[in-house]
Each structure stands twice: as C-alpha cells, then as structure tokens.
Chain A
Amino acid sequence: MNFIKLSFRNILKNQRRSFVTILAVALGFTAINVFSGYIHNVYNGLADQAIRGEGLGHLTLMKRGLLREGKLEPEKFLLKAKEIEKITKLLLQDEVVGLVTPRLSVSGIVSNGKVSTIFIGEGMVPADTAVIRGDFRADRGGLLDPARPTAAVFAADLADMLGLKQNDYAVLVTSTVEGLTNALDVDVGEIYNTGNAGTNDKLLLLPFAFAQQLFDTHGADRLIVLLYDRAQTVAAQQRLTEKLRTAGFDLEIKTWQELSSFYNQVKNLFDMIFAFIFAIVIVIVMMSIINTMSMAVMERTREIGTLRSLGMRRWDISWLFTIEGVLLVLLGGLVGVGVTIIVAFLVNQAEFSYIPPNNTDAVLLQVDIVPWVMIQAFVFLGLVAAIASLLPARRAARLVIVDAMGHV
C-alpha cells in the first residue's frame, strides 16, 4: 500500500489548507535557519576575535593554578627559559600545531610625564603576533614591529587619555617578579582600536623581551599554541595535556573558548534566544499540524470507515495520517530552505551594520547558510510533525467502523 502517494494526493486535494500549513511551517523553519545562520556568523566572528584579534590562539598552556594565584606569587608560576624551549619542541612535534609562542602579562601604571593611568600589558613575540593575527582585520593594524624592540602598541582610548601620538614616549611603572618597583621608557608604536570597550582604554601590547625586562625575568607565564584547524582545539587540548604529563610537565591547557568569557556570555545569551525561538516555532508547527490533521480526520471519517472495512488495520490508518502530517512539514521545510537562501542573500547584500554591546566598532549583520543546522532542524521538525500527527491519527484509528461509515 503506497501511503505516501495517498497522503500526498490528500495534501494536494486540500490545497488551501495545505498551503497555509506549509507556509506556517516554512516561515517557522526560515526563522530558525536565519537566526541560526546569524548567530553562526556572530560565533565565528567572536571566535576569530578571541583567537586572532585578542591573540589568545587556540590553546594556552600555563602552570597549574596561574589563573587563581598567579598575581599573588608570580615567580611560582613562571615557566623558565629551558622549560619553554623543551615544551615548545615537544608541542611542535604534533602535526596540528602551527605555532608555539611565549607570553608574559604585566600590569602597572603608564605615564606621559604629567598624568598617569593603569595599563594591562601583554608581552608577545613581535614576529609571532602577525602569524596569530593572520588575515583577521589585517587593515586595522595593532601589530608589534620586530624592528622596534622598545615600541609598544597602545590601545586607542589609552593613548587618547594620555594625549599620546605615534612615536611619542611614555613611562611604564610595574612590579618585578620579586615585588620591586621597575620603570622603563616605552616608545608609542602603533595606536589601534581593540574593538572592545573593556580593553580599549588600558591595553598595551609589548615586545616580549621588553615585558621580560619590566618583570625582571627570563621566563614567561604562558605559552600560546596556534593550530592549523580550529575544529581540532578540544582534541589537541586532550592529546597535548597527556603528552606533556608523560614528559613530566604538570601544566594545564585551556582552550580559547574557556578563556574568552565574552564569547561564552554572548554564546549563552544567543543560545537561549535561539532555544526560545525554536520553542515558539515548534509550538506553531505542532498547532498547525494538529489543526490540519484533525480537520482531515473529521472530513475523511467515512473514508476511514471504508478503508477499515476493506481490511486496513488501526495501525495502518494511524500511519496514513501520521505520514500526511510529516509530509506537510517536510514540504514546508523544503519551501523554508528556499526562503532561507533568499532571505540570507538579501540580508547579506543589504550590508546592514550595528554596534554590538561592549564593542567600539560597527559590525556587518550577516547570515550564514549552515547546512548541518538546517538538516538537524529539518529532522527535528519532522519528528515534531510525527508526534503532532499522532493525536488526530490515533483518533482516526480508534473510530468505530460503523460509526465512521454513518458519518456525514
């Protein structure tokens, strides 16, 4: 018995009702796809911002406890030069690792000679900053110049606060690893907008050797690992942790995602909004299907009686109406795929822009086409349709044949 053909013809027979149901499903499905495409784009942007813009790389290696107690006892958590050398060599043996580079955090006061303010500085190897940045916002600048070992990159608002311009100089006052006060002159290299309101008034990028000088150490507090493929991050984290433990290093490895609290906050927020939209769409789809299939059962009561008298089992009747409900949703889904592609194209072409919270720059509103999310939503809506169809389908199956035959 070809249930699909029978169901499909019944869908075509009730064109107007089927059209409205398919449209409702298509619009709901489009809403899911467009929003998931948008947040996919946002997540990718934030990931790039964290990994390449903020220079977190994919993995950060540090001595266990650095994040909790590193400020209290910095010397305890510093990686010594020999350790750095050994670990770097070990890590580079892994085929997914593209770059290993040391980092050193310093903080203190920066002064123009008249006024001063706090800064947080990141000591990084100048040549490696360009590798980590890659082509991410290449036009924005903010890279350390390997040829200028005493030039720092100043965040734009910080430079503004101190009235500093490129090639001016300032004084950095910090504590050394042993807690003594240290001060060094620093040249103003580039001035750049970090893109983040939280860091744009205090961030300094310092040449790594310069930061070591400030801190009076030959070590580093972290090692940044850049992978060839972001998708390998978690697998590499586990594998490298094990490899280092075997080699006798008690280090913890954090992924960029674990360290980027902003990414996590935004992702949690968007995930919750997505779940909310998804729930609304599911309710709409369920109500549409239940309504449509209930009407179909009512209209075809006599037909159900006829089919039962010809030998169809209750289960067959139930299956027939369930298939019809699922088909409606699948057709709605197919239409939704088309509408999604059109909407995404139009939105992307329109190049709308907006300034997200905590950002200093406008970003483009873009919608990605994410096939795997569409497939998942498609399958899920199909299941929802099956469940929604079950209620009217069960009612159809439970009809008493003689009552159904007498139905007008």
Chain B
Amino acid sequence: MDHLLPSEIADADRAFPEALAACGDLDAVLRLKGAYVGREASHAARLMELLKAAPREQKRDLGAVVNALKNRWEEALKARQAELEAVKKAAGGATWDDSLPPPLPARGALHPLNRLMDSLVDVFRPLGFHVEEGPEVETEEHNFDGLNIPADHPARGSADTFYLAAHPGQLLRTHTSPVQVRTLKQLAPEIHAKGGIRFLAPGRVYRKDEIDPTHSPMFHQVEGMLVGHGIGMHHLKGTLEYALRALFGPHTEIRLRPSYFPFVEPGCEVDVSCPLCGAKGCRVCKGSGWVEILGAGLIHPNVLSFAGIDPGEWSGWAFGMGVERMAMMLSQTPDLRLFFENDQRFLKAMGGLD
C-alpha cells in the first residue's frame, strides 16, 4: 500500500529511525515529534490532508496505511522519550528530592556462625595459629582410633554416628578432632623444622541427634591444638585466658574444672565468668556466674604416638568448642534451628557484615 504514499513521506519514514536514534535529549525528541506527528505542518498533518482529499474509493486503504504509520511513529517516539527520561532520571542529581534519605547500596550478610568462627581465627592469629581443615567424610581411624577412643565406645555406634551405606568404614565426622590426627600425622616428619605445631580447625560436624531447639544433626566446632616442648596445663590456661578475654572482654575470668575426654590427659572443662551479667548471676548462667564454654586438656600421649610424634619429647594441649552453643549464649538466641533456617532478616541482624 506504500505506493499510496507520496515519496517525501516515504523518505521521511525511512529517515525516521535514524533521526529518532540521533535524538540526544528530550527536546530533540519533542522537535522530532512536532515534525512527524504535530498538529500543524507535520508529516502526519500532511497525510491527514491527503486523506481528506483522496478519492472515495482509496480512502479506506489509505486511511489504514496512514493510521499504521502514525501509530508506529507515535509509539517509537514515546519509547524513545521514556528511554531518555529514564536516562535523565538515572543521571538524576538535578531532580533528586533532597528531603528523601539517600538510597543505600545493596548489603548482604555473613552467617553468624561463620562470623564467630572467623573471630576465633582472628583472636588466635597473633599467637601464630593458622587454620587446618579436613574432610567431613572421615574414617574410623581418624575420627576414633587416633584419638584414643576405645573400640567399644558408645559414640562409635550407629545410634550416634552417621555411616556411609556403601563404604562401611567411613562416617561423617562427629567432631573436628580428626583434623588433629591428620595434621599431627602430616606434620610429624617436619615437626623439628617447624618448631612445633599450632593450629585451629573450624568446621562442620555431624551427630545423629533429632532436630529440636537445642540439637541439630549438623553443627560447628572449632578445635585448637598446640604441640611444643614442655607444654603444660599452665600454657593451656594462659592461652585460653587470653583468647576468651579477647572474645568476651578484658574483665572475663576463666575457670578450669577436671573432666574426661579420651584424647586428653589431664582433661578439663572451661567456664567463663558470665559475659551477660558480669558474673552476678542470671538466667543464662543459671545464677552461678559461670558458663561452660569448651572442653580441653593436654594431648594424650597415645594421640601423639599414634601420629608418629614422640610423647617423650613433645607435649601439647588441645581444646574443642561448640560454635552454635557459644553463638546462642552470646546472642541469647533461644532456638538452635534459627541458625539453619537462614531467614534473611535473621542473617542481616545476627551476621551482618564487617
């Protein structure tokens, strides 16, 4: 039907996309709009005149062509106008409403458990501790045997420990302590050159506990270990006093109580003066002023021997703490499950970002 149009209109239509693209600002679009679809002296106005004057039998076809053309121009102009408006808005300084709060950039969050583990690493770094890690699927040798855990210990049972169906000797580690075994074995040949061993092992561990407000089949631990010459309980106490004060504040007191873990001797539980009430007695410390925070002790000579380190020459300490437990205590989060629900509001509030 284009043959119905005068050549200058057809030319104008061909030039239209380029002219539109060349419009650098809204004024230019308005000028182009005037030229193409304005009321007077525009291409559209000219077409309307043509239509009026057209012979009766052509009117219908011509009308359709004119309308299509006009619509196309109008739509394209509108789109370009919106585009330039958006650009202008984005560029925006001039039109910004100063009374509004300036927009914040997107902000996510680290998980609170990861932040807590990172803080522990930060606290131990100045003492020369680095980070060692191990796999979550472990062998009985690393998870139990190398830690002086007797062959008939109930923790080895399938009621407590997850085992792999196709690989009978393999299990999901029940603590981060197998990292001790791996690291001691790995570093034993170069222990003299390195001048001992000191590391933290943060990570995920698994125990066959039903999910409830205080239990989870997966949780996190941070293990700490040091091997050197002449290491005794005083070194364990000194290190933990430093670290727990760094975490809970300079006025924190610590208390060691005798306890038993097969992989340490002597063994102890470590309490801190309640960081929430300043040891005055509250709900969290059950009025005692103390909160149990971790288990520790001097590395059992059998553990060193198993790894090929002479317990006659070397000695050391180890500790292990539950990250969730500490996080719950510090934040008074009432339910462990919140840490695995990952509600963004919880993560933002509890984990945040440095």
A and B interact physically: no
Give the B-binding residues of A (Cβ under 8 A).
Answer: none
